[in-house]
Each structure stands twice: as C-alpha cells, then as structure tokens.
Amino acid sequence: MRRLLLILLVPALLAPAAPAAAETRSGPTASGYGGAVASVDPMATAAGLEVLRRGGNAVDAALAVAATLGVTEPFSSGIGGGGFFVYYDARTGRVSTLDGRETAPRAMTETAFVDPATGQPLAFQEARVSGLSAGVPGSLATWDTAARLWGTRPLSAALRPAAQVARDGFPVDATFAQQVSDNATAFSQFEPTARLFLPGGAPPAVGSTMRNPDLAATYELLARRGVDTFYRGEIGRDIVATVQRPPVAAGPAQPWPYAIRPGGMTQDDLRAYEVRRPAPTRISYRGYDVYGMATPSSGGSTVGESLNILERSDLRALPKSQALHRYLEASALAFADRNRYVGDYTPRPLLDALLTDGFAGERACLIDPAKALAKPVQPGVPDGRYQRCATAPGGAAPDQGQSTTNLTVADKWGNVVEYTLTIEQIGGNGIVVPGRGFLLNNELTDFNFTPTQGTERDPNLPGPGKRPRSSMAPTIVLQHGRPFLAVGSPGGSTIITTVLQILVNRLDLGMTLPEALAAPRASQRNTASVTAEPAFIASPEGQALAGLGHTFTPMAEIGAATAVEFLPHGRLLACAEPVRRGSGSAGTVR
C-alpha cells in the first residue's frame, strides 16, 4: 500500500539523549536518529518503527515489517513465498545471509515444465497458474531463523500485530485494486482466491476496507504453536492438499485457456525444508566493501562482477553518457556470465572466480567507448588465465518475475537488515490456500523450462530439492568496516540492474541517495534492446546512448527500491521510491 499517513512517535524506550517529544512523518524520504525503516507501505514502515521505538533491534523490526507486508502487499510477499535476508551485526562487524528461497519438491525432474504430449515447453501462464509452479515456501522459516539468531524477541511478537492488521483491515488503494484487476482471470479460477480478492465478482473498490480474517487466524495460530505447524502440522497439510488438488472453481467467472495442473509437493518436502546460511558475496569497489547474496541468488555475483568491471573506468571523470554507456555494457557482460554459470549448484570456487579482478579486467577490455557491443554478448571463461578476451557459448534470456518487495531497517546500535522477499509473479500462482488466507508462490517457473546452453550444462534446470535461480540482490555496503549504505529492490531480473544503477548513481555520479533512487532507470540484461523508463530514453544521455548504438524498449517503471544511508554523527537517511509503485514509505524513530 502507498497510503501516506502521519506516524506519531513518543520517546519512550529511546536512547537517553532522545528529546522529550518527537514526530516522524512517513513519506519517501526521512532523516533522523534512533533507527530507520524503508518499505513500500506506510503501515509496514510504521510497524517497524514501533518495534524500534520500544527497544527492539533491526531484526525484530524487519520481521514486523515483513509480517505486515504479508497482509498489505499479499501479491508480492507473504508466508507462501521466500526470499533472501542480509544482516550486518554491529557487535561483531560481520555480514551474514539467510537463503530462504523456495525449494522444488523431490519429485521434480528436468522435464517438469515440458508437456509430455507435445515435447514442447509449457506456456508460461499454463505453468504459472498451477500447483506445478509452487515451491516449498521459505519465508516463515527465514523469519524464525532470523529471530532466533539475531533478534531480541520471539517471532510471535511480529506475527500478532500483523494479525490485527489482517483482522481490522486496511484501505484499498489504486495499486492494490489494479493488481487484482490484472489477475482477475487467474484469480477467478480458484474458489478461495475469488472469494477473498474478487468479492461480488469484481476487484475491491479503491477506498474500501480489505480484511483477511483467515490470514489473521493463520498468523495467530503460528504465534501460539510456532512454525512447526506450517512445516510439520495442519497448515502444511493444507498447503500440500492445495498443491496436489488445486481448489478450482466450479464455474469460474472468466475462462482460462489451460487445464490447471497439479503439483507434486508432499509433506515430506515441507518437513525437509531448511534455511541455508551461505557466506555472502563480497567485492571491494573504490574503497567500499559491497556484500550481497550468493547462490541460488545471482544478485550478489552479478552486481559484484558489474562493479568490478566498472572499476576499470574513472566514471566520475567521464561525461554522464559515457558513464552510463559503461554501466549498460558492464551489466550485459555480467548477465552473460550469470546465465552461463550461476544456479543453485554452482560450486563456490566458480562463483568466487566470477568476482575476481582478473576476470573483470578481461571482461572490461571488451567495452568500446565508441559503440555498443552487439547483443547478446558471449560469456567469459573464469579459468584464472586472463591474458586475452576469451569467450564461451552463449547464455539464456533473463527471467522476468516481477512480484517482489524489499525492506531496509537500521537500529540505534548500528545493526542493519536488507531483506528482499517474494512470491514471484504479482499474485504468485493465483491460488489462496483454503481457510488460510495466503497465496502460494510460482517460484519454480524461475527455472529454465528447457536447456539454454547448447551443448554446455544449464545451471538452472529444474531438479529434485533444487532452488531456482533468483535475481534478488539485497546489498549492504561498508566503509572502513562500518555500514555506509543498504539497498535492495523488487523487479525480477531488473533487480540486479536497479541495485547496480543506484550504487553507480550514489558512489560515482555524485547523486544524493534520494536522487539516486529517483533517477530514471535503464536495464541491460544482455538483450538486443535496453529496457528503459521513458524519462531515461528522452534524456540527453539517452539520446547520446542511442547514438552509440543502444536501442531501447520502453517500460513504465523499473524497480521499487528502498535504502538507508549512514550519515555522520549517527544520523540516518531512509529512502523509498517517490513515485514508482505509487511511492514508498520511509521513517526514522526521531
């Protein structure tokens, strides 16, 4: 939701130096002290600020934000999905990550998305709106793990206030109504989804109150009994039944061109789910240390490789059009390597090789200041021998999932959470679990349906217990070992370029953080055309880039980022989108 509201914060439980009274206005930008929260939704941001105000830390607040987003942003997040959680611990100075990505059932094979009757890959919407696309959800396990490892209060403390929001309801805004309208045909195929989101057969009216008593009851049950009731108990049984026997409406209001396929998830798959704790990716860039997610996310490696390539140019000394030319070319080169090498089972030495300075230098030598490279470019060979510009077989087209949300939280002690969570497409697979009030994900469509690498191994084919490749790129930047900036975004494969462009804007092009988020965006993912916002295409730099051979495909908006920057003397700058997705919400404790 993008409902702007005034949040009145009293100074109880703040640091001793807090003023006697304070007021924080929720908008896209806020600066102050005592902690900061940025998300897409004012109600979620308010929930996080309240936790910080009452003495909770960044993890406690992040979980409150995430649980509330599961209510107010149900088409982008929720307990039916998964995500990646990056945490900076001020006490130890360490960055840690949690991989809460959804997992394929153990019965899934490489041909899961191939129609056995034709031998051809399924149409995307046929695969998406089905039980076949649902992976074992990881969000709840992530929340529980984060609370136990780094929080100061149990997960139930985050779930109960969010349950109250679900029970009392929230005002429907234009974005929420439009997302339901865009999914109306898919939602109408399933009785519980249509009953919740299409009351009377139509999307809820803007300004009406959206209530979800089933989700409230689900949150309350989880608060009482813990996450085992999800992975080993009654909620899990309902998830499995929904995946195996989708609750298809007897007479859907709108026709659907495909049969609704069942999935193969079992209760054993739910019981076997584990949150992974991989070491973060890390690169050094112009005196900053940039940390991100390792596989199955490609965000950390692709953002990191792109920055390593860009470090070979002094972007500050170049005309802006030339800096942006190198940004587009570097991201194309890194995407070629991502598509060729990165998947759930990529060996860590190979992932680390993609992030070496030697490999980046070899890739950077391909960039021609006078003209754009012909796309798609070929991947490089990260073999440790970097005397020349070698190439290897080509890569796949980028995945396009868009239904994701991001939150950024910092507390008064200097702890930081950057968390990107998702159910994949807007509306996930379209299926609400009966009686439970949450949508299931369609995350398994992030696998490549058929091989994309010619005679070489495709790293992102489906497999039993495998996690599909992601583009989520929650990123924390340190300077001299202390937090400088945390940033992340939704947007499918454009997440990578959104985070990268914000970093370039802030670290190289002299923009403030609000300017870096607001600037027009362009996304080059090793495709023939650059996806770009209209303002980018129409800018002088866009015209100059066209003269270098870049071609553009317009996209109304790219990404919906949140970020927090650490300013001198303990001041925090929290930023969300001023316009995209109806604008976001940022606030500080005081």
Is-contact 309 334, C-beta < 8 A?
A: yes
Task: Give the tokens for residue 553.
Answer: 């495909």
Q: How many Cα neighbours within 13 Å face the side chain of 51?
A: 35
Whether cis (ω within 30° of 0) applies to the bond prior to 121 is no
Residue at 213: amino acid letter: P
């084919």: which residue's tokens? 461
Please give the Cα distance from 179 to 405 (Å, whole number). 14
For residues 418-456, b (16+ Cβ closer than 10 Å) or e, as one string?
bbbbbbbbbbbbbbbbbebbbbbbbbbbbbbbeebbeee
Please give the Cα distance from 417 to 114 (Å, whole number). 39
Q: Which of 68, 218, 404, 405 is catalytic?
A: 404
Indicate the length of the chain as a whole number.
590
Please give the Cα distance from 60 to 147 (Å, whole number). 7
Q: Is 229 a catalytic residue?
A: no
337 CB neighbour count, 10 Å cutoff = 27
Is-contact 423 403, C-beta < 8 A?
A: yes
Is-contact 474 292, C-beta < 8 A?
A: yes
Please give the Cα distance from 324 to 460 (Å, whole number). 30
392: exposed, middle or buried (Cβ count in 10 Å: 0-12, 13-18, 19+):
middle
Is-contact 582 26, C-beta < 8 A?
A: no
Sequence-separated (6 or more) residues with CB below 8 Å from residue 33 = 15, 18, 412, 570, 571, 572, 588, 589, 590
Give the E-state strand segments of 401-518 in sequence order: 403-411, 416-424, 475-479, 482-488
Q: What is the DSSP letter of 479?
A: E
DSSP result, 68-98: HHHHHSTTT-STTSEEEEEEEETTTTEEEEE
562 membership: H or E segment, kind and range: strand 562-566
284 CB neighbour count, 10 Å cutoff = 14
Report the SS3 class of residue 4. coil
CA dihedral 119, 121, 127, 132 (to 10 degrees): 50
292 membership: H or E segment, kind and range: strand 288-292
Of 306, 324, 280, nearest in space to 499 by CA: 306
182: exposed, middle or buried (Cβ count in 10 Å: 0-12, 13-18, 19+):
middle
Q: What is the DSSP letter of 541?
A: H
**Residue positions annotated with a catalytic role:** 404
